[in-house]
Homo-oligomer: A and B are copies of this chain.
Amino acid sequence: MPPSVNGAHTLLQALLDSGVDVCFTNPGTSEMHTVAALDRVPGMRPVLCLFEGVATGAADGYARMAGRPACTLLHLGPGLANGLANLHNARRARTPVVNVVGDHALLHKPYDSPLESDIDALAGSVSGWVRRTRDVAALGADVAEAVARAEEGQVATLIVPADVTWEHTPPQEAAVAGLGTFPDPGEDRIAAVLATGEPAAILLGGDATRARGLLAASRIAAATGARLLCETFPARLERGGGLPEIERLGYLPETADAQLAGIRHLVLAGASSPVTFFAYPGRASDLVPDGCDVHPLLGKGVGSAADALEWLAGQLDADGTAAAGAPRPERPGRPTGALTAESAAQAVGALLPEGAIVVDEANTSGLWLPAATAGAPRHDWLALTGGAIGQGLPVATGAALACPDRPVVCLESDGSAMYTLQALWTQAREGLNVTTVVFDNRAYAVLGMELRQAGGGERGGALFDLSRPPLDFAALAEGMGVPAARAATADEFAALLERGLAEPGPFLVDCVVPRVV
């Protein structure tokens, strides 16, 4: 078998052999090898949809008219979930539809990484037939059966773990390697461990990322030399105005590896033990370095991590210790010249008002945002916790309702914005003070990065391209009653951001930037 015939190749060829040659898709990282194979296996027509509900409804319409199934290619449980309502309609229409749902690599599933969910339960709710392929050798037959079962007049769903698509031989299911080494939770013992002065880090999550937790953690760090990190995507991180600036654990595994290198003790304060978002061929899912003990301050997700950190600070006689750390970061100046993700971040840093609530779904365009805003006045930072895109605009809507006296700044990416753009209408209807910035790089740029990360090369570009046709976010916003404008230079962007912050009610800035990755 030539080296290019991996599971993804087998998958597509088996679909074609069964007469399925149209694929409606909005893929994600776990489907990257299949996306790469779409370029290599002639005959399959991929049709990119901006939301999975479009992909599944299109597959229904296709089969009603063509008399034979199309397939969908969907990303994990959240991608399938977004497509369920139209699969429900297809089920009632007795339409043949073949769903191919990517899942995490079998080796990665035990780690309960952020996008892990019960795909089988979701699939079962609409499908007459569901199977999970665990062995690349079975993939061809599984695909053939999926098509045959769909052709009986039902939805058939095949769940394909990422490693089944990238392997040439059966992947191994994980004997769970163990998430680091977990001693029993217990603050007492942790104080003793930290007091040893061995290289240690404290990973902050839950309410440890709010002011009280950050200050307690900072006192502990000053007293013990422990390094402070916070979850990659905190639910609510308080920042600015002189609060200790906490480094976030990197999204890219290599970044996280570097941050955790040499750590002998990792204390979990409201956070889970760190794992990679996705599996990648040839690397471990567990981010805890070899020889590092993991010390949960609390049972998982139970109790207040801030309370526990204050108690721990007391145990370490760190109550009065001055907070460790660098001098308070300066705010960047107002940018001028070319509009890029970097200059836009400078403008946000320069203009972010006191008490702002920042909702961050800027994805790859957000690279410079943490540093640029570290010197801003006190604000809250709300991140994409579960990795299911389409969260930013709705979360901003809810935050503005919760805190009507605070400005909300929603930092969005184009692809994610198009998932739940309807939130703008509710913002207009309710007169919510949300300033939305769409970092409009005309691509699912993160997927290009993930494709390279997954060893898929530079292919698949057409499926990540949002430029044909370009989206006009100002027109879209105004169509829902939200005033909006497009910025083409850093000066224009700063002026529009200022205007959005100054005016009551919602405002949207279409911030046209080049891709970062």
Contacts and interface: CB of A to CB of B under 8 A. Distances in A.
Interface string A394-433: 1111111111000000000000001111110110111000
Oligomer: number of copies = 2
Given A64-B236, A480-B469, A397 B22 contact: no
A58 B385 contact: no
Interface string A85-100: 1101111111100000
Interface residues of A, number: 102
Nearest to A95: B235
Contacts of A121: 121-122, 124-125
Contact of A476 (B236, B399, B476): B476
A357 interface: yes
Given A86-B391, A117-B125, A422 B418 contact: yes
B88 A426 contact: no
A3 to B, nearest CB: 33
Contacts of A481: 469-471
Given A125-B117, A357-B65, A401 B57 contact: no
A51 B386 contact: no
Interface stretch (A75-83, A281-289, A320-328): A75-83
Contacts of A93: 235-236, 385-386
A301 interface: yes
A256 interface: no
B53 A82 contact: yes
A390 B53 contact: yes
Nearest to A469: B481
A388 B88 contact: yes
Contacts of A81: 81, 84-85, 88, 122, 125
Given A65-B402, A81-B81, A394-B61, A420 B118 contact: no
Interface string A44-63: 01011111011111111111
A429 B430 CA distance: 33
Contacts of A401: 22, 45, 47, 58, 62, 70
A60 to B, nearest CB: 6
Contacts of A399: 61-62, 64-65
Contact of A473 (B94, B425, B479): B479
Contacts of A233: 92
B469 A386 contact: no
B429 A64 contact: no
Interface string A347-387: 00000000001010000000000000000000010101111
A460 interface: no
Given A93-B235, A420-B51, A426-B50, A57 B394 contact: yes
A465 to B, nearest CB: 9
Contacts of A82: 53, 82, 84-85
A235 B58 CA distance: 14
A475 interface: yes
Given A47-B401, A50-B426, A78-B85, A394 B480 contact: no
Nearest to A392: B57
Interface string A205-226: 0100000000000000000000
B92 A422 contact: no
27 contacts: A24-B398, A49-B422, A49-B423, A49-B426, A51-B422, A53-B420, A57-B398, A58-B426, A61-B402, A62-B402, A65-B402, A78-B85, A78-B88, A85-B388, A85-B419, A88-B386, A90-B385, A92-B114, A92-B385, A93-B236, A94-B301, A118-B124, A121-B124, A121-B125, A153-B206, A469-B480, A476-B480
Given A57-B420, A81-B122, 17 more contacts: A48-B429, A53-B394, A53-B422, A58-B401, A59-B398, A64-B395, A65-B380, A77-B88, A81-B84, A82-B82, A84-B84, A84-B122, A86-B388, A86-B420, A93-B386, A117-B126, A469-B481
